[in-house]
Amino acid sequence: MKSITWLAVLLVVCILVFSPGNGMSQIREGSVSLNPNIGGYVFQRGQHIDDDITYGLGLGYNFTENWGVEGNFNYVNTDSNADSSDGEKVDAYLYRLDALYHFMPEKMLVPYVAAGVGAISIRGDIDNKGSDPLLNFGAGVKYFVTENLALRGDIRQIITDDPNYNIIYTVGLTYLFGGEKKAAPEPEPAALLKASEPVKPADSDGDGVYDDMDKCPDTPKGVAVDSRGCPLDSDGDGVPDYLDKCPDTPKGVAVDSTGCPPGPAAKVEKVITLEDLHFDFDKATLTEEATGMLKKNMQSMKENPGIKVRIEGHTCAHGQDDYNLRLSERRANAVKEYLMKEGGISSERLTTIAYGETRLAMPEIPTPKNKNSTEAKTNRRVHFVVIMD
């Protein structure tokens, strides 16, 4: 009897100490459990019955992951130790119906508390034989070694109406049948979207041409480039537009490092120091952002009364060439009119030119889906060139 007791205690301690605290959900809603067990039964001293081994079997049902119910039967084959007896054989039969509450039902190690009602029937040639109702309460632990199979340790206080206070402690197995398994959580929509997005090639200088195709990978920010990723050189004089102070030099004319023909008579032009304006698709109306930028540009022009400004209208690549040419002209004229009306800038200091889609700031492939792409928005602009007399 003592060896059984120590074996039961050792098994329960090992489960508590060495088991990990994580794992898949173990107690399943709607599952049925079969629970064979072995252990010891301790009678109250006044009953004059020896403590002995008990064998049992239980059948349970889990209403939820936390709540369950079990019916249990245990049998004790022992002896009487009353002075008047000569070691008479005693048989005890326990019938219990218990409610269980499981803590951490999703873990591999699942502690629980239990309480219930039942009856105990004691048979043999002794004075206190018969059947009595009982109450019981206690606690236990289940350690799942597989998804359906668990080791189990349990201890209960048994109270009969005499009253007698007995203890039953058992170790055994719990095997689950059926029940609803938790589905794996679905990934967040954002995570799915992110996983499905292709990796976008790098564009280190931000000119719209990917590094593996960019022949000029160190182009300054904001400089218009061609399909090779190199700064535009509209007049073909070898000096990029953003450095070219004379962007309309005739073909074949020698120029200096500023892009201008040598000699005092050359007109000095420089790249715009005024900020570009951008327009909505198929519109020549100034946006709130554009008028804010124009006010800053007007201030620069007022501070430099000797400069003249060429206003260049541009469009994106969507639409017909002739329509885009007229649209770029309307955009340039809208800016000129605003500078004259709101800023008091003389018309003699302002000239306009329309380029349509012939001078795209960024390479663009027009399709119905990308009319509001970064490239298209960048190309819908008015560009300023400041001319010093």
Q: pLDDT by residue (tens digit) across 86-143?
A: 678 889 999 999 999 999 998 999 999 999 999 999 888 775 667 889 999 999 999 9
In the chain, what are the domain boundaries?
2-177, 272-388
Amino acid at 195: A
Q: Which residues touch 330 (CB under 8 Å, ≥6 apart)?
A: 284, 313
pLDDT tens, residue by residue, 355-380: 999 998 889 888 888 888 889 899 89
Amino acid at 1: M
Would you write out the chain's pLDDT as a tens digit for each of its 389 residues? 544 555 555 454 454 444 444 445 588 999 999 999 999 999 888 888 889 999 999 999 999 999 999 999 999 998 888 776 667 888 999 999 999 999 999 899 999 999 999 999 988 877 566 788 999 999 999 999 998 999 999 999 999 877 889 999 999 999 999 887 766 556 566 555 555 566 778 877 777 788 888 888 878 887 888 888 888 888 888 888 888 888 888 887 888 888 888 866 545 444 446 888 899 998 988 898 989 988 898 898 888 888 899 999 999 999 899 999 999 999 999 999 999 998 888 989 999 999 999 998 889 888 888 888 889 899 899 999 988 86
Give the integer Cα–Cα distance in Å for 247 and 255.
Answer: 11
Q: CA-based angle 86:89:94, to the nearest 5?
A: 140
**CATH superfamily label, 272-388:** OmpA-like domain (3.30.1330.60)
| 314: nearest Cα among 223, 375, 380, 376 | 380
Say if CB 53 and CB 4 are below 8 A apart. yes
Tokens of 187: 């990934």
Amino acid at 201: P
Amino acid at 58: G
Q: What is the DSSP letter of 139?
A: E
Give the integer Cα–Cα distance in Å for 389 and 387.
Answer: 6
CATH code that applies to domain 2-177:
2.40.160.20
